[in-house]
Structure 1
Amino acid sequence: MNKGYLWVLGSAILVTIAQLSLKAGVMELPSFALGWHWLQIDWLLTNTVSLSIIFVGLVCYALSMLCWLFALKFIALNKAYPLISLSYVFVYILAVVLPWFNEPATWLKAAGIGFILLGVWLISRPTVQQTKNIK
């Protein structure tokens, strides 16, 4: 397996963690609105856990970008970019499975996930030219 695929997978997993962390963090905030309360120390201290979870999400985004740069070094962009859509699959599944997100599963959403997986499979298959080169 090309190590570029491992970098793409790492990027997709980190984006998944980032998305779920951001969602979990903002769900715990009493209100999510821009305002001066973000600069008040008592508000920051009261919401340290939520803000820490959000911070973890932002760090995971940064690490995901680093993985993405390495992935692009080893994989063509027209293959790498569709593969990153695996993060949509991971986020959907975990949001449905993990009870604190309380996200509903529907057949229509599951079909959408199926189409994403089909697309990833079609993109990641060896091309006819690659098959000829192997022989």
Structure 2
Amino acid sequence: MNLRRGITFAMGSVLLGSAAQLGMRWSMTRLPSPEHLLTSSIDPAAVAVVLGAILAYGVSMLSWLAALRDVPLGRAYSLLSISYALVYLLAASLPVFNEAFSVTKTLGVALVMLGVITINSRPARAPERRSAS
């Protein structure tokens, strides 16, 4: 068991999941609503980004499974919260998403990050594998 490898996989999962979330948001603002799907033109780039985001979610899940082999669940699960902060910061920073910063959202993200830091500040041991007998 390798804690560093596990955290690397967990962070890869966070980055892929965040990218997928942003890609989905971008695409959904460019695709017609379900009731107009058959009568409206469909942007091929938006469809490609949706498919890429679905693939990113899949690879993110595989990366998450790899992380769980080496990182205690309590620590690993807290790392997923980084995705909330990352998506918020990118969505509010990049003009393409037309999102805005707010004091309450920023404070909430800061509290989430403080929780992640608190949970991960103590030394962790990699989980022991149980032998099958």
Query: Shift of residue 126 of structure 1?
Result: 1.7
Query: Shift of residue 25 of structure 1?
Result: 0.6
Rounded to whole Å, the distance in 1 between the matches of 2:109 and 2:45 is 32
Q: SS in structure 2 opposite 1:28?
A: coil
Structure 1 pair 56–72 and aligned structure 2 pair: CA distance change class (3 A)? same
Query: Shift of residue 32 of structure 1?
Result: 2.0
Rounded to whole Å, the distance in 2 between the matches of 1:82 and 1:34 is 38
Rounded to whole Å, the distance in 2 between the matches of 1:36 and 1:87 is 31
Query: Shift of residue 82 of structure 1?
Result: 1.0
Counterpart of 1:74 (choices 64, 70, 73) is 70
Q: What amino acid maps onto 1:10 in structure 2?
A: G
1:84 counterpart = 2:86? no
Q: What amino acid maps onto 2:120 in structure 1?
A: S
Query: Shift of residue 54 of structure 1?
Result: 0.7
Rounded to whole Å, the distance in 2 between the matches of 1:18 and 1:114 is 22
Rounded to whole Å, the distance in 1 between the matches of 2:5 and 2:119 is 17
TM-score (structure 2 length as normaliser): 0.84
Q: Size of the alignment, in residue pairs?
A: 123
The answer for unaligned runs of 5 or more in structure 2 is 126-133
Q: What amino acid maps onto 1:96 in structure 2?
A: A
The residue aligned with 1:109 is 105
**1:1-135 residue pairs with structure 2 within 5 A?**
2-29=4-31, 31-33=32-34, 37=38, 43=41, 46-127=42-123
User: Over aligned residues, Cα RMSD in angstroms?
Assistant: 2.0
Q: In percent, how many aligned pairs have the same letter?
A: 31
Query: Shift of residue 47 of structure 1?
Result: 2.3
Rounded to whole Å, the distance in 2 between the matches of 1:81 and 1:59 is 22
Structure 1 pair 103–69 and aligned structure 2 pair: CA distance change class (3 A)? same
Query: Shift of residue 117 of structure 1?
Result: 0.5
